[in-house]
Amino acid sequence: MKANEGMIDRALRIIAGIGVLSLAFVGPQTPWGYLGIVPLATGLIGWCPLYSLLRINTCPVKRA
């Protein structure tokens, strides 16, 4: 797995993931909040499977 997310993309995913995940514990306490795990995980890993399928790469570093 090559990284396909840039630093800004990763930071936004982590922030959004934590925000959505917090809905499972604070606020409406809905199980839909657990969907925040997806952007949080992809932000922490730096690789998005959907980006791979669509051949999108926001990572400025070219890895061999």
49 closest CA partner among 8, 11, 13: 13
List the end-to-end C-alpha distance of the chain, in Å, as a whole number.
Answer: 11
Question: Is the confidence at residue 63, as pLDDT, over 90?
Answer: no
Q: How confident is the model at residue 64 (pLDDT cuts 50, 70, 90)?
A: low
Tell me the helix, strand and coil percentages in the chain, rounded to 5: 60, 0, 40
Domain assignments of the chain as residue spans, ordered by start: 7-53
For the segment 11-38, the average pLDDT, to the nearest whole number, is: 95
Mean pLDDT for the chain overall:
93
Distances in whole angstroms, Cα of residue 34 to Cα of each of 39, 48, 49: 10, 18, 19
pTM of the model: 0.88
